[in-house]
Structure 1
Amino acid sequence: MKYAVHVMYKPSILDPQGQAIQQSLQNMGYTGVDDVRLGKYFEVTLADNVENPDEQVEAICDQLLANTVMEQYTFERMEEE
């Protein structure tokens, strides 16, 4: 089973890298960009015999992939290729 995990700063957390990207875009002439938020993307593949795979992915996110004080995450099971 493969999962897509997206980790982003919480809305209340300042994102200086996102702000730098937004400023660069404006300097390049993209004046309609109101906000840029930088995040992380992970693909996690679990063995087919893992019990409670959603719970395991959530635990992985809580314990390693996201700093839950500053970040929020979402995950979804991906279609098998």
Structure 2
Amino acid sequence: MAAGAIPIAHNSAGPKMDIVLDEDGQQTGFLAQNVEEYAYAVLKIVKMPESERLKIATAARRRASRFSEQRFYDDLKAAIRPIICGSS
């Protein structure tokens, strides 16, 4: 996703709840559970106009930025700051 690839992920747990979610109202990828759904997603991506692929890829890239190392570091600092600063 971070490189602009459109994900086709299993329709369960993490991908369904955290990763392949709309970003600013734009689809970021596809979820599938069986061979037919995976094949459908691949064909849909291959057949869609390039402009639509680019919209999805751009949204996927924005979505992936939520999982960057810097974002983790910043969020962790924000979460533990009250604990550390409050105990002094």
> Whose strand proportion is higher, 1 or 2?
1
> Whose helix proportion is higher, 1 or 2?
2
Structure with the bigger RCO (C-alpha within 8 Å, sep 6+) is: 1
Q: TM-score scaled by structure 1?
A: 0.22
Which structure has the greater CA radius of gyration?
2
Q: TM-score scaled by structure 2?
A: 0.21
